[in-house]
Amino acid sequence: MFKNYIVVAFRNLFRHKAYSAINIVGLAIGMACCILIVQYIRFEMGYDQFHSKSDRIYRIVRETQSSDGTSIFGIGTSGNLAPALLESYPEVEYAIRGWSTGSLMTYSDKVQNQTITRTDKDFLKVFDFPFVKGNRETAFDAPFSMVITEETAKTYFGDDEPIGKVVSFKDRNLAPDYTITGVVKDIPENSTINFDGLITTISEEEPINIWNMWAATYTWRPIQTLIVLPKGYDKRDLELL
């Protein structure tokens, strides 16, 4: 019986070739569109979800008012906000800063512009970027340490061991040299945190001032502040404090 259904179906297909082709192509396009839409939604909904604390991580947004009373929201904050939150609010488990800049990084004859992010040592406790080389627990124990991505390691060191290598900068906001102490997997595209290299040692005078100051009247605030709240804690309770 089933064989007869198939035979009849094929006969109808070949008997009405144009009509069949239009329907088959339409069905194929419809299915492809559905698959693409589902993939897009999964990608968008998956932003930063690969971190185990993703449901408890919050980015601080600063509200300022223009002369006409209009509220303006931005992610730039004062450098001293994170330490102040940790000191004043026991509800905050972690508070970290991030400040990213493009800088020319040099190793041997290789020179490329890289995104270098200054952050606090607790960064690796907040975000779960997997290590492929080095130890996440001790990566920033020594001053002037740097953690880089797999792609960055491949660019500068090829198949050589990157751990212990020293990279250099000619940038007034960075120290001259940093030692590679860890390599993390390349960052997924659906991540709001992106970097080529991570550092926690800030030694130059101007960056130190920006890192530690209250920038109440500054329009340029390059530092972002993120916090982690306890499990089950309603963020609205912190907003009301």
- Quick check: is 51 in a domain? no
- Quick check: is 133 in a domain? yes
172 and 204 belong to one structural domain: yes
- Specify the pLDDT at position 3: 67
Percentage of the chain beyond pLDDT 70 is: 90
- Specify the pLDDT at position 220: 80
27 and 112 belong to one structural domain: no
- Specify the pLDDT at position 219: 74
- Rounded to 5 degrees, φ, ψ at 101 are -140, 155
172 and 207 belong to one structural domain: yes
26 and 126 belong to one structural domain: no
| CA proximity to 189, closest of 12, 9, 48 | 48
| CA proximity to 228, closest of 12, 33, 56 | 56
103 and 10 belong to one structural domain: no
111 and 205 belong to one structural domain: yes
Domain count, the chain: 2
**Single-letter amino acid code for the residue at 203:** S
List, as own/partner pairs, every contact residues 137-142 make where C-beta atoms lie below 8 angstroms and the sequence separation is at least 24, other chains included. Answer: 138/181, 139/181, 139/182, 140/181, 140/200, 142/179, 142/181
80 and 173 belong to one structural domain: yes
Does 47 score more than 90 pLDDT? Answer: no
- Report residue 121's pLDDT band, with 50, 70 and 90 as the boundaries: very high
- Quick check: is 50 in a domain? no
Give Cα 173 distance to the centre of its chain. 22
- Quick check: is 85 in a domain? yes
Range of the domain at 146: 56-239
- Report residue 19's pLDDT band, with 50, 70 and 90 as the boundaries: low
171 and 191 belong to one structural domain: yes
Percentage of the chain beyond pLDDT 90 is: 61
- Quick check: is 71 in a domain? yes
* Widest CA span in the chain: 85
- Quick check: is 170 in a domain? yes
Does 241 score more than 60 pLDDT? Answer: no
